[in-house]
Amino acid sequence: MTKSCMAPDPDTKTPRFKLPANATDAHCHIFGPGDKYPYSPTRSYTPPDAGLDDFKKLQSILGLTRAVLVNASCHGTNNDPILDAIAQSGGAYRGVANIDNTFTEADIEKLNDGGCRGCRFNFVRHLGGIPDMDEFHSIINKIKGFGWHVVLHFDAIDLVDFQDLLDNLPIPYIIDHMGRVPTKDGLDQEPFKILMEFAKRDNCWIKVCGAERISSAGPPFTDAMPFAKAIIEVAPDRVLWGTDWPHPNIKLHMPNDGDLVDLIPLMAPDTQMQQKLLVDNPHRLYGFSNK
């Protein structure tokens, strides 16, 4: 029996912070609806449906126009939920797929044609832990020729354990949610020091999202801002931001996405940096076709 997830806050606030034109949510998900896109029988959690129509409403309220849809592990390797959404977006969406060794280069080419620009691996314990590393390296070799990147969802301790892996990756990689470093352990904790070293490398990107996941103080999650600011200072051209809507596997404090948008000027007070974080960086990595 799989565990169920909390539903996202249904009353999205209109943020006080006005996002720049073509701002991008670079980390978000589409869940179902399950009667159209069945959830994987091997999933580790069952989410509430949070489909494309709900996502469009969210974007409208927040003032977002672009998105990178990360196919959630609850859908397994069925990438139709994001491919269909991308196809309806008029070039405003891109995707990060879930694939395994059954995917051929022809299969990956179809995903690429459908707007996917990378694939994701979960290392976190509650989503199954370390993937099969032979399969991991095989897939890295397959996607390299397509100019894809790999998105890595780590627990903080993994930043310590997998330094050698990241040292030798032959493609760009993105570390999700600021490496899930717990704020209670401070800026001097070993995983964050390692993350900051990775941030200096040309092939490492970091998502300064997931404040609600790393916060120890709870809402409004401002204790995560020193971490986000430090990352942005070191890698201003290789940072991305996202809502993580609809926030799977939140245990305590379901965030309101309007409040998350209002954290942006706390992590990036300068308008030029806001433009990089929300528009220029995701456009450079994902090549959005809409103007």
In a domain? residue 222 = yes
**Helix-helix angle 80-87:52-62, to 10 degrees:** 50
In a domain? residue 139 = yes
First to last CA, the chain: 45
- Which pLDDT score, from 0 to 100, does residue 128 have? 65
Question: In a structure prediction context, what are the per-residue pLDDT tens digits for the chain, which is 291 residues long?
Answer: 467 889 999 999 999 999 999 999 999 999 989 999 999 998 888 899 999 999 999 999 999 999 999 998 899 999 999 999 999 999 999 999 999 999 999 999 999 999 999 999 999 876 667 889 999 999 999 999 999 999 999 999 999 999 999 999 999 999 999 999 999 999 999 999 999 999 999 999 999 999 999 999 999 999 999 999 999 999 999 999 999 999 999 988 999 999 999 999 999 999 999 999 999 999 999 999 875
The CATH number of the domain where 109 resides is what?
A: 3.20.20.140
In a domain? residue 103 = yes
- Which pLDDT score, from 0 to 100, does residue 127 have? 61
In a domain? residue 291 = no
What is the DSSP code (8-state) at residue 289?
-
| Cα distance between residue 291 and residue 285, in whole Å | 16
Please list the active-site residues.
Answer: 244
- Which pLDDT score, from 0 to 100, does residue 63 have? 98
> Which residues touch 172 (CB under 8 Å, ≥6 apart)?
149, 150, 203, 204, 205, 285
Contact (CB, 8 A) for 124 and 155: yes
Where does the chain have alpha helices with state H?
Answer: 52-62, 80-87, 105-113, 133-144, 156-161, 163-167, 190-199, 211-214, 225-234, 257-261, 264-267, 271-275, 281-286
Domain that holds residue 54: 3-286
The count of structural domains within the chain is 1
- Which pLDDT score, from 0 to 100, does residue 252 have? 87
Q: Is 103 left (phi over 0), alpha (psi -120 to 50) or beta?
A: beta
Contact (CB, 8 A) for 177 and 208: no
In a domain? residue 58 = yes
pTM listed for this prediction: 0.96
Name the phi and psi angles at 226, rounded to 5: -60, -35
| Cα distance between residue 103 and residue 84, in whole Å | 19
In a domain? residue 143 = yes
